[in-house]
Amino acid sequence: MTVPVRSLQFADAREAADLAAFLGRLLHYDRAAAVRLQAGGGALAVFGRPPSFEVLAIRTARLADTHDFDTTVSAGELLESLDTGESAEGGAGSGSLPAPVTGPPWAGVLPPRGGWEERPGLPGPLALRTALTEAVAEFRARDEALPEDRRTRAERDQIGRDIWSRTVGDTELPLRAVHAAQSLGFLRPAPDFPVALLGAGSWLRLRTPFGSIALRGAGGGLGNLAVTVGTA
């Protein structure tokens, strides 16, 4: 689609820098990653799908101007366009929109706009990080225990599916969603770090102050294909 806006001015340099860090992490998992961008109400929502985790990652940034657009672009080109303003005192951070690209299938199926309700049973951030540490240690131990004739990609993938499909606490959230949150910089070792699990229809969303991880439950329908911009 045609998007008239070609330049972006962020509310401050930190917004641009945090977005750049997020894009860099996405590109670590997929050098050809695309991101869907939705802007409205002075905020920009960026959606990506790191293939290793099979989830949607959502990062928001505050804009200095009010724009209204919806487009899918190359994550790499967007990252290259960002100027965090860190080298210039008082710089606010800016960027430009790359040309639209044909979006991957996931870009047409975003979390619902509303109807989110908090779900109980999610452990605190310290317990989540402990569970991740134990899961990584278990994966390494089981991988090292494989006999030589079974040390294949298929065997390792099966171990990974077994571990990362386990649910967290008293919830339906798979551990891979927490793993994705930590790998993308959303789950940080800070005191009083707020995390919440939200649900809407067949969707679940792990929300932190730095971004969200969303995914649909097994057998879930497509639901509403829009999302509220500015809600990480």
Among 5-9, 104-108, 203-207, where is mean pLDDT lowest? 5-9
Q: Which residue has the tokens 């390494």?
A: 140
Confirm whether 2 is domain-assigned. no
Residue 201, in any domain of the structure: yes
Q: What pLDDT score does 15 carry?
A: 93
30 and 74, same domain (yes or no): yes
The answer to whether residues 132 and 101 belong to one domain is no
Q: What are 112-136's pLDDT values in tens digits?
A: 988 999 999 999 999 999 999 999 9
Asked if the model's pLDDT at residue 222 lies above 50, the reply is no
Q: Which residue has the tokens 């997929």?
A: 30
> Do 134 and 211 reside in the same domain of the chain?
yes
Are 229 and 41 contacting, i.e. CB atoms less than 8 angstroms apart? yes
Q: Amino acid identity, residue 32?
A: A
Give me the pLDDT at residue 82, please: 94
In a domain, 132, yes or no: yes
Structure letter (DSSP) for residue 188: -
| d(C-alpha 205, C-alpha 216), whole Å | 9
Q: Is there a single domain that holds both residue 160 and residue 103?
A: no
Is there a single domain that holds both residue 96 and residue 129?
no
Q: In this predicted structure, what is the pLDDT of residue 217?
A: 74
Q: Residue 218: how many CB atoms within 10 A of its CB?
A: 8
pLDDT of 132: 94
Place of tokens 């750049």: 20
Residue 210 lies in a domain: yes
Q: Say if residue 99 is in the same domain as residue 128.
A: no
Domain closes at, from 108, 143, 170? 108
Please state the domain count of the chain: 2
Domain that holds residue 164: 117-216
Within a 10 A sphere around the Cβ of 51, how many other Cβ atoms? Answer: 12
Q: Are residues 189 and 209 in the same domain?
A: yes
**What confidence tens digit (pLDDT) does each residue in 55-73 have?**
999 999 999 988 889 999 9
Return the pLDDT at 41.
87
Q: Band of the pLDDT at 91, cuts 50, 70, 90?
A: low
Task: Give this prediction's pTM.
Answer: 0.86
Q: pLDDT tens across 36-49, in order? A: 999 998 999 999 99
- What are the phi and psi torsion angles at 20 (to 5°)? -60, -40
Tens-place pLDDT, residues 149-208? 898 999 999 999 999 999 999 999 999 999 999 999 999 877 678 999 999 999 999 999
Helix, strand, coil proportions of the chain in percent (round to 5)? 30, 25, 45
CATH number of the domain at 85, please. Answer: 3.10.150
Is 121 contained in some domain? yes
